[in-house]
Amino acid sequence: MLAEVRQFRDPAEAQTQLAGLLKLANENRNFSSPILDWLQSGSINTPALVFDARLIEQRMQWLHELTRHLSITPLVAAKSCPAPEYLALGLKHLHGFDVSNPAEYAGLPERLDGKLVSVTAPDLRFDLGGFSARGNKTVVVLDSLTQLEHYFSQNPPFPYLLRIQGPDLMVHQSPPDPAYFPATRFGFSCKEVRQLFQLKRMRDNPPAGFHVHHGSERNQASTYKNIIGGLSELSRQLSLQPTCINIGGGWHSLPTDDIGDVLQSARSAFPQPCNILTEPGRWYAENAGFAVCTIVNQSSAGNVVKYTVDLSGRCHLHWSNVKLVHEIESGSNRACEAQFFGPSCFEGDRVGKFLLPYRNEFFNESGLVTGARVIFSGVSTYSLAWNTSFNGIPRADAIWWSP
């Protein structure tokens, strides 16, 4: 039975995962994906990051339909994957892009007529007017007095949003939201925004609304609802009726039902004609990314096997918590710890460690020997964005698969 084996952090977690794997094997619940047969066919001969373009397109289409009924504007966070194949899918199915600088804007499709580009940049020292050069509409997000001064000095022909600190909108929640953390370097606090609105310049040139991106791995529906409620209360305090609200991304762990619930909550809090933006990145390719590599070295010590593969955890799998795609047999009563490392000379070039069940002889049964191909799932498009060379190790190949 083919299974996705998760990494473990401690022995207790490893044993829990092992029991779950054996239960799946006994029930013959096979992990399947249309792309797996092709990956296992041996068609790929070099270290590669492979993405199921069909699945990504389906997720974009699903979000388009959901947001269309609510009149919400879904964008693609360009930083999540600069590949032309990915951006072309976003252009086809969604309403625009979120970018951070002129280089990201230059990497977008050549014509963006009718699309929206949201600019959220820690460094805003450039001509803002250039972000409308491809026929798109533009909105810029400002998170400091320095950026406000820059915007007002250029007076570009498009609106601005104030970036609000996500934690500040949740600080008074009781009990605390699971995704709460105490501080962020991005954005204004609510107190700072209220102080800004005392200035005549701000009252004469108010923002179109607010932007929040809360980048916690523990985000859930309640997180977004708390943020939406906080933005609504801040708007009330300022006597501001926003024409645009951006609730960011970071929702890759949310079930689809929760996404619909969150977006409905946003629309209820900010009725039309307020334009509500959302900008997922990693979510679009969730469960669509794989890595293919070859075992090039191995060593054993007791019940632990250390493998070196020709794919680097640091160079090629940054921001991916990969799972091992592996054959599990029912009736297995032993387990071996398999550790995978990249080929660089850096001690910390780890790919992951997994507890794998077997019956009698691990290497024969698992097939995990030098020269064998290995497949990992759970690869994020961010890994492709980070994909780099180091220590003479080339970038991994990028492959976009469609049936």
194 Cα distance to chain centroid: 32
Q: Cα–Cα distance between 378 and 300 in angstroms, integer?
A: 27
How far is residue 272 from each of residues 161, 240, 241, 249, 275, measured CA to CA in Å? 17, 15, 11, 21, 7
Instruction: Identify the DSSP state of 347.
Output: T
275 assigned to some structural domain:
yes
Q: Are residues 174 and 92 in the same domain?
A: yes
Q: Cα–Cα distance between 361 and 334 in angstroms, integer?
A: 9
Q: Are residues 267 and 371 in the same domain?
A: no
Question: What's the CATH number where 326 sits?
Answer: 2.40.37.10
Residue 252 · residue 282 · CB < 8 Å: yes
Q: Are residues 352 and 334 in the same domain?
A: yes
Residue 333 · residue 359 · CB < 8 Å: yes
* Number of domains the chain contains: 2
Burial of 52 (0-12, 13-18, 19+ CB in 10 A): buried
Q: Report pLDDT for 16.
A: 92
Q: Report pLDDT for 331.
A: 84
For 164, the domain range is 71-281
Q: Are residues 48 and 132 in the same domain?
A: no
Q: Which residues does residue 297 pair with via DSSP β-bridges, in sequence order?
A: 308
Q: Are residues 223 and 80 in the same domain?
A: yes
pLDDT in tens, 189-246: 999 999 999 999 898 999 999 999 998 989 999 999 999 999 999 999 999 999 999 9
**DSSP, residue by residue, 127-156:** -GGGGGTTS-EEEEEE-SHHHHHHHHHH--
Q: Are residues 144 and 259 in the same domain?
A: yes
Instruction: Identify the DSSP state of 395.
Output: P
pLDDT in tens, 232-241: 999 999 999 9
Q: Report pLDDT for 82.
A: 95
Q: Cα–Cα distance between 252 and 332 in angstroms, integer?
A: 34
Residue 357 · residue 326 · CB < 8 Å: no
Q: Report pLDDT for 109.
A: 98
Residue type, 90: G
Q: Are residues 341 and 274 in the same domain?
A: no
Residue 353 · residue 8 · CB < 8 Å: yes
Which is it for strands 323-327 and 2-5: parallel, antiparallel or unpaired?
Answer: antiparallel
Residue 46 · residue 397 · CB < 8 Å: yes
Q: Are residues 77 and 142 in the same domain?
A: yes
Give a three-class secondary structure readout of 311-335: CCCCCCCCCCCCEEEEECCCCCCEE
Q: Report pLDDT for 362.
A: 95
61 assigned to some structural domain:
no
Structure tokens at 152: 């007002």
Q: Are residues 380 and 316 in the same domain?
A: yes
Q: Report pLDDT for 91.
A: 98
Q: Are residues 330 and 198 in the same domain?
A: no
In this prediction the pTM is 0.94
Torsional sign, CA 126, 131, 133, 139 = negative
Final residue before a domain boundary, out of 233, 249, 281 = 281
Q: Cα–Cα distance between 167 and 400 in angstroms, integer?
A: 37
Q: Cα–Cα distance between 322 and 319 in angstroms, integer?
A: 9
Q: Which residue has the tokens 């029930």?
A: 27
Q: Are residues 215 and 84 in the same domain?
A: yes
For 266, list phi and psi in degrees, rounded to 5. Answer: -65, -45
Q: Are residues 273 and 293 in the same domain?
A: no
Query: pLDDT tens track of the chain, all 403 residues?
Result: 899 999 999 999 999 998 998 888 888 888 888 899 899 887 898 999 999 999 999 999 999 999 999 999 999 999 999 999 999 999 999 999 999 999 999 999 999 999 999 999 989 999 999 999 999 999 999 999 999 999 999 999 999 999 999 999 998 888 889 899 988 999 999 999 999 999 998 989 999 999 999 989 899 999 999 999 999 999 999 999 999 999 999 999 899 999 999 999 999 999 999 999 999 999 999 999 999 999 999 999 999 999 999 999 999 999 999 999 999 988 888 999 999 999 999 999 999 999 999 999 999 999 999 999 999 999 999 999 999 999 999 999 999 999 8
Structure tokens at 66: 């959901």
How far is residue 324 from each of residues 70, 247, 329, 333, measured CA to CA in Å? 39, 34, 15, 19
